[in-house]
Structures are given as structure tokens and as C-alpha cells.
A and B are shown apart, each in its own frame.
Chain A
Amino acid sequence: MTKAEKPGRARAGKQSGGQTTRRADASVDAAAPAASGETAVESVDPVESADGGSGVGETAPARERAARLAVRKTYKLYIGGAFPRSESGRSYAVASSRGDFLANASRASRKDARDAVTAARKAFGGWSGATAYNRGQILYRVAEMLEGRRAQFTAELAEAGTKRAGEVVDAAVDRLVWYAGWSDKIAAVAGSTNPVAGPYFNVSSPEPTGVVAVVAPDEPLLGLVSVIAPVIVTGNTCVVIASERAPLPSITLAEVLATSDLPGGVVNILTGSAAEIAPWLAAHMDVNALDLTGVTDEGLAVACEEAAAENLKRVFRPAATDWSADPGTRRLTAFLETKTVWHPTGV
């Protein structure tokens, strides 16, 4: 092979890859919502969909594949860069939007939440100490990895009943890229040099709050990415309670995070009941902030806010959010502290 041939071959490979993925979501978008899950699963690469297969309404290619034993994916938690089962040993069945059985997900306990906080605290020093440039690069890398698994996410989201799943995955990738760009710019927006009445040079710079407990919204990928990215891009670490209804994409996202140079413990994802775990995280004295975006139950939200008051956690509880809209910097600045330095200017 000559040198001139190599790039050409690479391009050709890329193009055919692009076509494959385009075919996959074209079929998803074109399909009726009720059958969208099936269509998506059929049209993606068999390797990618090996975890699915409810056995209901299997198509011809699926029956051919049934000759070999299906390798079912086990969905576990994501704590400290590893994928442990819940220490409680509990799990719960996750159903697709059509009511078919998809997989068992771990039902995290408060002990898992505590372990996750420990992991997040351990990771905080390194992550907050990394340069903004480095954090941005890692978020770009997460976006790249997510892009590489488009088909899998499209299929999983379709199973969870997300309309236009392909577009949602695109939006999630774009959202990550958008937040990655903010990593080295937020200091210019949230920080300042302050005019003061004295011979001082006075500078305010934003610093991460610490460990943030996040209750993710019931928006399996885009909502999840939209709450995680702004928290970690500024140097915080987080413990996330994923959507209880559709937890599978969140654990697949954890696989993406685990292969993106993101240090273990920066993001910890728990699947299970927010009503069960959130109050413990809200009361935890080693958690510095609380994002109640995904809490729909007013009583639970109030209880969490009250528990969070004990160590003056920052609490972020936005009104209903349109995840497809431009997010703005609100989520970035919600978990930042301002450090002001007075520097004598005497020369």
C-alpha cells in the first residue's frame, strides 16, 4: 500500500460507517413510535444489540442469531470508576416503553450512595486540581466516545420510549461539546477583576463547590448529560441518581465515561429509587451541593432541601426544563464558589 492510498482508504471506511449509522436512525425516525424499538434493534449492528432481545416479536435475523446463546448485558452501578453490584444485592426489572422486559438494573441502597460519595470525595482533589484545558479535553473525549456508540444509544433510547432517538443522541453529543468548550471560559465569565477603594489589585475567580449530589431527570440521555456535564466541567465531582424508569442508557453512558480518560470517581452513577437514596445524599455532611432537577415529588424535594440545610449545601432546584433548548450558564455557575484575592499593588 502506498502512502497516497492510506488516507483514501480511511476516508472510505469512515464514509461507510457514517452511512450505516444514518441508515439506523433513518429507520428509527421513520418508524411508528410503537414499533420504533424493534426497528432500531434490527437495523443496528448485531454486536451492538446483543444485550437486548426480549424474545417478543423477534424477526428473521434475530431468530437466526438465536442459534447461539444470547450474551445478556448485566447493568450494574458505576462507583469510583468500577462497575459494582449494589452491596444490598437488590435489582429491579426494567421494562421498555411497550412493557417488555429489557434487563435487570441494580437498585442502589444508601450504602452504595455513601460509597459513591467517598469515591467522589477521593476524586475531587485531582479533578478540581486539573487544568481547565485538561478537563475540557476529557469532556470532548466523552463526546467522541458517545458518538462512537451512537447506534447503541439510539437503540436503548428507542426501547425506553424516546421519540426521535437518533436526534436525541446527537443533541447529547453536541451538549457535551458545548460544555467542554466552557471549561476554560467560565472563569472569564464568572470571575472578574474588581475595582476597590484602596491600593489593591482585587481578583475574583470561580472555584468548584465540591461533591455534588444530582438527581437526574427522567430524560435518559440528553437530560442526564445536561446535568452531569456542567457539574464536572468546572471541577466538581458528582454522585448521580439516574432515572428510575429508564436507567439502562445511564449505565451505558457510564461505560462511555469509563473509557474517556475521566478519572474514576468523578462521576458516580446509581440506579434505583430517588425517593429512597436522595434524602441520604441530601443529609450527607460530606456532600457540598444538591441538584434536585429530577425530583418531581414536591414532598421529597422539600424534605431534601431541609436536610441539605444542615451543612449549608448549595441547592439547585430549577423549574421544569426544556432539554432541547440552549442551556445557558445557569447550571455552570450554580456549583461554583467565588474566591476573592486582595493583592497589594505597591511596587
Chain B
Amino acid sequence: MTTSLTDVATSNVTLRSFLHGLPGVDRVGADQRAAMLGTRSIKTTAKAQAIDLAIGMVDLTTLEGADTPGKVRAMCAKAVHPDPADPSVPKVAAVCVYPDMVAGAAAALKGSGVKVASVATAFPSGRSSLDVKIADTAFAVAAGADEIDMVIDRGAFLAGDYLKVFEEIVAIKAACGTAHLKVILETGELSTYDNVRRASWLAMLAGGDFIKTSTGKVQPAATLPVTLIMLEAVRDFLAVTGRKVGVKPAGGIKTTKDAIKMLVLVNETVGDGWLSPDWFRLGASSVLNDLLMQRQKMATGRYAGPDYFTLD
């Protein structure tokens, strides 16, 4: 790639020619490679390590209209001590809540080392004015969010108005201040793998610290091939610009097997430089219990049951 990236975003035309100039994604090849990597068998000590790593990467999420302060408090307690009966379980990376729940989560997690992430920008649809989105972000940051998960304007992206999407991300990044910005592409609505690659680059060019697959409200969510394409994008972006960007698949990761497949994908695509919570996260809620059950099975030798873990 010989283009200088400094003036790519000067106009819609330059941005479009750059994004459409990215090499196309071989859909069959991507599906096949993801499926092949999904067959890797991770057992015994490697599995135990992978489970602990995955637990440390979880962004424990509750994004329901029915969220109450009590539920958020309970989830924060679980984030710090996923299994109260077993202190050797690592804490999760972050909890992810709606902006009005951030203050309560920040208070509950004070000093624990678990970060508070907040969705913002008219999540999950992103259908509002830029002013509202900036105010939403500023509100979450003021309440104590360490990380902001924004959604791109898929309507503008699909209509080809890349500059609007770009400038929106830049504006939200500015509103974040010191908070990290995760950019949700909502890959389930982008319809092609080529668009996933373009949206990934667009988000990284605009200054996103993380690119995230989905809101979790749209199916399909974090599939393996889509995550693979995004990982390839951050790898190529690092090679071209020298800036490292994180990846967060979210939605549809339900089992330990799903989580370990993701870790294999990371290791085989971008190497172990990304195998830490600083650079890779798993947006999930139900997967944590499954990870704990697998962990217990490895410790005790008997299959665990959901009756012995908290309901979220």
C-alpha cells in the first residue's frame, strides 16, 4: 500500500477511492480459513490457560431496558470475583453498561482494576443527531466510564457517505477525552465481507482504539470469519501506520469453545501480541458462566452444572 494515509480523509472522494481500493475479501476463503482454525483442539494445560485468558478478556455486558441499579451492582461483584468460591479465577476485563448505569458501576468497581465501559451514541441503532451522540458520550465519560463503545452510522456507510461516518467517529473520539474508544461496526448489517474490511479501516483511520463487531442486538453477530477479517485489518493497519488497534468480537459468543476458537483465531492471524485484555476483548454475558463451568470441570474432573453458578 503506497498511498499516504494523511490526506485520505480530506473528502468523500478520496476516502471512497481509498476504501474501495482495499483488496477485496475472498468470502469462501475467509469462511474456510475460519472454519479450519475452529477445528484446532486445545486440551489440558493449554485449555486451562486459554480459559483463564478468556475470562480476563471478557467485557461482562448487560444492555437491557430492564437493567436496574441492583442488577448492575450484582454484575460488578461478579466481574471482580467471577466464582466467589474460587479466588484463583481472574477478574474480567470490564463491565459494559448503558450510560445511565455507569455511575453505579464505577462506584461498585472502584479500585478493583475492572474497567467500566459504556455504550453510547444512540446505541444500538445510532439513529440520532451528532449533537445527541456527543452529549451521550460526554455524559457517560463524566459519569466515570473508562471506555466508550460507539456505533457507526450504518445508514450513512451503506449509502456511501464515508466522510460522515469518519467525522462522526472523530467527533466522538474528541468527546471521549482520556477514555478509550471502541467502534462498533455492526457487521450483521454491513452485508458483505468487503464492507467489513472497509468499515474496519475507516474506524481505525478515524482514531478508534478498538474495533468491535456488533452491538449484540443484531444477528448474525460476532462470527469467526468476520472477526478474522477485522483481525487482518488491524494487522495490516499496524504494518502501514505503526499504530496498534484492538479487536472486540461481541454477541453470539456463548460457549467456552466459541471463546477458545476466537483466541486461536487471534494467535494465528495477528500473533500473541494481541492475546491480552489490552488488545482483545470478548463482549459477552452468558459465556462467563460456561468458562467457569469448564474451569471447574478441569479442576474437579466432573462435569459442572449451571445450578452452582450465579444467574445473570
Residue numbers in A under 8 Å from B304 (CB-CB): 285-286
Query: CB distance B302 to A307 under 8 Å?
Result: yes
User: Is A283 close to B, CB under 8 A?
Assistant: yes
Within 8 A of A (CB), among B172-226: none
User: Is B301 close to A, CB under 8 A?
Assistant: yes
User: Is A163 close to B, CB under 8 A?
Assistant: no
Query: CB distance A286 to B302 under 8 Å?
Result: no
Within 8 A of A (CB), among B267-312: 301-308
Residue numbers in A under 8 Å from B307 (CB-CB): 285-286, 311
A285 to B299, CA, bound (A): 14
Q: Give the nearest-CB partner of A281 in chain B.
A: B303
Query: CB distance B306 to A284 under 8 Å?
Result: no
A243 to B206, CA, bound (A): 65
Query: CB distance A283 to B305 under 8 Å?
Result: no
Chain B: residues with Cβ within 8 Å of the partner, total of: 8
A284 to B307, CA, bound (A): 12
Binary contact readout A280-298 vs B (1 if CB under 8 angstroms, 0 otherwise): 1001111100000000000
Residue numbers in B under 8 Å from A285 (CB-CB): 302-305, 307-308
User: Is A117 close to B, CB under 8 A?
Assistant: yes
Within 8 A of A (CB), among B123-167: none
User: Is A167 close to B, CB under 8 A?
Assistant: no
Chain A: residues with Cβ within 8 Å of the partner, total of: 11
A283 to B307, CA, bound (A): 14
A234 to B307, CA, bound (A): 22
Residue numbers in B under 8 Å from A311 (CB-CB): 305, 307-308
Query: CB distance A280 to B303 under 8 Å?
Result: yes
Residue numbers in A under 8 Å from B301 (CB-CB): 283
Binary contact readout A287-317 vs B (1 if CB under 8 angstroms, 0 otherwise): 1000000000000000000010011000000
Name the residue in A117, A283, A285, A311 with the highest tally of chain B Cβ atoms < 10 Å from its Cβ. A285
Residue numbers in B under 8 Å from A149 (CB-CB): none
A270 to B303, CA, bound (A): 18
User: Is A331 close to B, CB under 8 A?
Assistant: no
Residue numbers in A under 8 Å from B305 (CB-CB): 284-287, 311
Query: CB distance B302 to A283 under 8 Å?
Result: yes
A311 to B306, CA, bound (A): 12
CB distance from A245 to the nearest CB of B (A): 27
Name the residue in A286, A287, A307 with the highest tally of chain B Cβ atoms < 10 Å from its Cβ. A286
User: Is A164 close to B, CB under 8 A?
Assistant: no
A262 to B303, CA, bound (A): 27
A285 to B302, CA, bound (A): 7
Binary contact readout A331-342 vs B (1 if CB under 8 angstroms, 0 otherwise): 000000000000
Name the residue in B301, B302, B306 with the highest tally of chain A Cβ atoms < 10 Å from its Cβ. B302
Name the residue in B302, B303, B304, B307 with the highest tally of chain A Cβ atoms < 10 Å from its Cβ. B303
Residue numbers in B under 8 Å from A117 (CB-CB): 303
Q: Give the nearest-CB partner of A211 in chain B.
A: B305
Name 10 A/B residue pairs within 8 A (Cβ), A-sorted.
A280-B302, A284-B305, A285-B302, A285-B303, A286-B304, A286-B305, A286-B306, A286-B307, A307-B302, A311-B308
Q: Which residues of A contact B (CB under 8 A)?
A: 114, 117, 280, 283-287, 307, 310-311
